[in-house]
Amino acid sequence: MAEPHRFYPARWWELRENNRIKCLLCLRECDIAPGDCGFCAVRKNIDGELVSLSYGRPVAMHIDPIEKKPLAHFMPGTTTFSLGTFGCNLNCLFCQNGALSRGRYGSPGQARYVSPEEIVSAAVDQGCRSVAFTYNEPTVFAEYAIDVAKLAHQHNLATVLVSNGYISSAAATELFAHIDAANIDMKGFSEEFYRTMTQASLAPVLASIKLLYDMGKHLELTNLVIPEKNDSPQMIDDWLQWVEDNLDKDVPLHFSAFFPAHHYFDSPRTPRETLFAIRKQAIAAGFTSVHLGNIS
C-alpha cells in the first residue's frame, strides 16, 4: 500500500492557546509548541495538529522466538514478527537500546513506509504466530500498533506488547484492548529510582500492570537488576509483595542482568549470584514462575 500522507494524525491530545498542544498519551503531558516534538521525539505539533512521525516507519523488523520478548508461557516454541520505531517516553540512564529509544527521524525518507497490511502479510508469510511491538517503547507508536493489531487478529495472529508501561489510563485502555500478551518492564520498585534513573514515575507503571491483569491479558513482568540501585533484598521483597497483593503468585517474573550502557556506568554488570539469590527469594515467597535473563 502506498503511503497515504506524509504525517499521520496522532490521537490523545488537546489544543491549547497559541496553537500549543497538550499530549495526553503518557503521564508527561508534554506542552508542545508548533514545530516542536514531545519528549518522545516522535509526536510533533504541526500548525496546531499533533502528528505521529513513527506511524508506518519501523526502523527494526525481525523474526524472534517468542521467548526472547521475554514471554515464557505464551505460545512457547513459536516465532513472532517483531517491530519497533524510534522514540521513548522515558529517559533511562541505563537504557539497553539507546540507538532506537533515543533515535530521531530525520528526513521523511529515512525509514520507508510499511503499512499495517505489509506487516501482517510478512508475519503470515514467515510462518509467525504473532506480531510483537517491541525494541523501543511501543506505546509511542500506539496508533500504528492498534491498526496492525486489528489486522493481525483478522489473520489469526496474536499480538504482543513489550513496554515500560508508562502510558495514560485513557490511551492504555484503548491500546491494551488489542493486545493478547504483554511483558512490562518494571525498572525498579521505588519512586526515587524512577525519578533519578528514568525521569519518570513508578505509579503509572503499576497502574498499567494492574489494568492488563484486570483485563485478563497474558502478563509477564521483567525487572532489570542494577547493582546497588534496585537490587536490595528489601526492594525485591516490596516488589514481590505488591505483585502478590495486586496480581497473583502465578504471574511469571523475569529478573535480568544489567550491563553498563548508555549514560550509566557507575554500577558493574549484575553478578550471577545476585540473580540466583533473587530467584531463591521469589520462590521462597511462593512465586511459581521465576526466570533469569542475560546471564552469560
Determine, yes or no, domain membership for 110: yes
In a shared domain, residues 15 and 98: no
Q: What is the pLDDT of residue 108?
A: 52
In a shared domain, residues 94 and 144: yes
Using 50, 70 and 90 to split pLDDT, how confident is the model at 271? very high
In a shared domain, residues 180 and 37: no
In a shared domain, residues 81 and 48: no
Determine, yes or no, domain membership for 1: no
In a shared domain, residues 15 and 83: no
CATH number of the domain to which 282 belongs:
3.20.20.70
Evaluate if residue 203 carries a pLDDT over 50.
yes
In a shared domain, residues 66 and 47: no
Number of domains in the chain: 2
Instruction: For residue 13, give its domain range.
Output: 8-52
Determine, yes or no, domain membership for 3: no
In a shared domain, residues 42 and 110: no
Determine, yes or no, domain membership for 216: yes
Segment 270-293 mean pLDDT: 98
Segment 258-273 mean pLDDT: 90
Q: What is the pLDDT of residue 5?
A: 52
In a shared domain, residues 44 and 165: no
User: What is the C-alpha separation between 34 and 50, in angstroms, rounded?
Assistant: 9
Q: Which three cell numbers, joined as nine digits, stand for 8? A: 499521520
In a shared domain, residues 44 and 67: no
Q: Which three cell numbers, joined as nine digits, stand for 41? A: 521525539
Tens digits of residue pLDDT in 106-134: 855 568 899 999 999 999 999 999 999 99
In a shared domain, residues 115 and 257: yes
Question: Which residue type does 140 have?
Answer: V
User: What is the C-alpha separation between 203 and 124, in angstroms, rounded?
Assistant: 38
Determine, yes or no, domain membership for 2: no
In a shared domain, residues 36 and 145: no
Q: What is the pLDDT of residue 260?
A: 87
**224 vs 7, which has greater pLDDT?**
224
Q: What is the pLDDT of residue 1?
A: 46
Residue 94 φ/ψ region, left for φ over 0, alpha for ψ in the -120 to 50 degree band, beta for the rest = alpha
Q: What is the pLDDT of residue 264?
A: 85
Q: What is the pLDDT of residue 109?
A: 52
Phi, psi (deg, nearest 5) at residue 198: -130, -10
Tens digits of residue pLDDT in 129-175: 999 999 999 999 999 999 999 999 999 999 999 999 999 999 999 99
